[in-house]
């Protein structure tokens, strides 16, 4: 498929994928930080939670814009796919929405309720949805990959509440998604502090999460053979499947090596590439389907004039969006580029 042959619907679908990748890399890291907030223990737990709050506080709301773009483009550009997803998976999507609201509200309330009991309560309401919501998001993606929602739509009749998503493959993908978010959050947090002890703690968490991520990825791949053959065949049998898997593995090794020798900025870049390759590989495996086994990009797309107007709107909006986001991150996150200088790193004093 050459660039010239890409029609407007495929371009819109590609932008949806890019937005989903960006949501994973930025919004997903916020959820992953909530995972480490939940798991914070010991005498350094308070310091870890304060670092997490300082890291995500200025930018966590804006990161949801990428998910909003995905939903709006799906609704406007591919109404048949939107209808299929929202009707067959409305239970996990509704629970996910509740989790987003609870998490955001708790994070805000925690910032103002300084009492000991209030802090403990809001910590719990922030961190638990930070774990559950990514699992639900992954289960939705995994359920779509199985083709079960598409088959339910084709069959017509009553839509089941649970059988489309309470299955082995969606559950494994949900845990995989949670692992991805925790992994990139730990990698990012190594660059969010100049405290060498905290940096070392999150380095160890990132190494652990990276190893678990590799095992979870293999589990997803093996379960896909039975539950999501479209994905399995795409990753194992297509001409691009093996190069993508090898590239992902190679970048994962680079990330592990960079974390091991404390090259934190290299680890951040390679971790982002690793996660992006995972998502691109899964999307290519399902191409040209949006909702297998019959709802494709072309046969579910809005009329061409709608697709073209969407592209025009996206182009005009990007002229405002990207400079604004760059300015926001430059103001509140510019210091992260000054930290994690490997040549200046000194190991912590304690063993």
What is the pLDDT at residue 335? Answer: 61
What is the pLDDT at residue 79? Answer: 95
Residue bearing the bigger pLDDT, 116 or 35: 35
3-state secondary structure the chain: CCCCCCCHHHHHHHHHHHHHHHHHHHHHHHHHHHHHHHHCCCCCHHHHHHHHHHHHCCCCCHHHHHHHHHHHHHHHHCHHHHHHHHHHCHHHHHHHHHHHHHHHHHHHHHHHCCCHHHHHHHHHHHHHHHHHHHHHHHHHHHHHHHCHHHHHHHHCCCCCCCCCCCCHHHHHHHHHHHHHHHHHHHHHHCCCCCCHHHHHHHHHHHHHHHHHHHHHHHHHHHHHHHHCHHHHHHHHHCCCHHHHHHHHHHHHHHHHHHHHCCCHHHHHHHHHHHHHHHHHHHHHHHCCEEECCCEECCCCCCCHHHHHHHHHHHHHHHHHHHHHHHHHHHHHHHHHHHCCCHHHCCCCCCC
- The answer to whether residue 132 sits within a structural domain is yes
Please compute the mean of the pLDDT values over residues 292-301 and round it to a whole number: 92
What is the pLDDT at residue 336? Answer: 63
- The answer to whether residue 66 sits within a structural domain is yes
Whether the pLDDT of residue 115 is over 80: the answer is: no
Please compute the mean of the pLDDT values over residues 35-58 and round it to a whole number: 88
Whether the pLDDT of residue 174 is over 50: the answer is: yes
What is the pLDDT at residue 111? Answer: 74
Please compute the mean of the pLDDT values over residues 181-199 and round it to a whole number: 93
- The answer to whether residue 348 sits within a structural domain is no
Range of the domain at 32: 9-333
- The answer to whether residue 107 sits within a structural domain is yes
- The answer to whether residue 342 sits within a structural domain is no
What is the pLDDT at residue 56? Answer: 86
- The answer to whether residue 346 sits within a structural domain is no
Q: What is the pTM of this model?
A: 0.91
Dump pLDDT digits (tens) for 340-350: 444 444 444 44
What is the pLDDT at residue 305? Answer: 94
- The answer to whether residue 341 sits within a structural domain is no
- The answer to whether residue 340 sits within a structural domain is no
Q: Using 50, 70 and 90 to split pLDDT, how confident is the model at 338?
A: very low
Task: Give the total number of structural domains in the chain.
Answer: 1
């Amino acid at each position: 498929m050459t660039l010239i042959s890409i029609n407007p619907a495929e371009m819109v679908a590609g932008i949806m994928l890019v937005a989903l990748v960006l949501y994973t890399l930025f919004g997903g890291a916020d959820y992953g930080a909530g995972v480490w907030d939940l798991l914070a223990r010991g005498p350094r737990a308070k310091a870890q939670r304060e670092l997490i709050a300082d890291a995500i506080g200025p930018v966590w709301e804006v990161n949801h814009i990428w998910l909003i773009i995905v939903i709006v483009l799906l609704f406007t550009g591919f109404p048949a796919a939107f209808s299929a997803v929202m009707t067959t998976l409305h239970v996990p999507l509704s629970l996910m929405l509740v989790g987003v609201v609870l998490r955001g509200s708790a994070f805000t309330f925690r910032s103002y309720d300084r009492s000991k009991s209030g802090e403990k309560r809001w910590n719990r309401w922030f961190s638990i949805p930070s774990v559950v919501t990514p699992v639900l998001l992954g289960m939705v993606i995994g359920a779509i990959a199985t083709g079960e929602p598409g088959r339910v739509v084709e069959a017509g009749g009553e839509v089941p509440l649970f059988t489309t998503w309470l299955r082995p493959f969606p559950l494994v993908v949900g845990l995989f998604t949670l692992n991805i978010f925790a992994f990139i959050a730990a990698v990012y947090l190594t660059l969010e502090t100049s405290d060498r002890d905290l940096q070392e703690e999150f380095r160890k968490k990132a190494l652990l999460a990276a190893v678990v991520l590799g095992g979870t990825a293999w589990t997803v791949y093996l379960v896909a053979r039975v539950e999501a053959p479209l994905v399995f065949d795409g990753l194992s049998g297509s001409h691009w499947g093996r190069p993508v898997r090898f590239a992902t593995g190679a970048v994962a090794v680079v990330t592990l090596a960079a974390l091991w020798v404390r090259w934190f900025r290299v680890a951040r870049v390679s971790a982002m590439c690793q996660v992006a390759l995972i998502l691109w590989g899964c999307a290519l495996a399902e191409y040209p389907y949006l909702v297998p086994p019959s709802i494709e990009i072309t046969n579910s797309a809005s009329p061409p004039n709608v697709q073209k107007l969407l592209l025009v709107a996206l182009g005009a909006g990007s002229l405002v969006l990207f400079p604004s986001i760059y300015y926001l991150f430059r103001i509140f996150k510019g210091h992260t580029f000054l930290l994690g200088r490997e040549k200046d790193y000194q190991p912590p004093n304690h063993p």
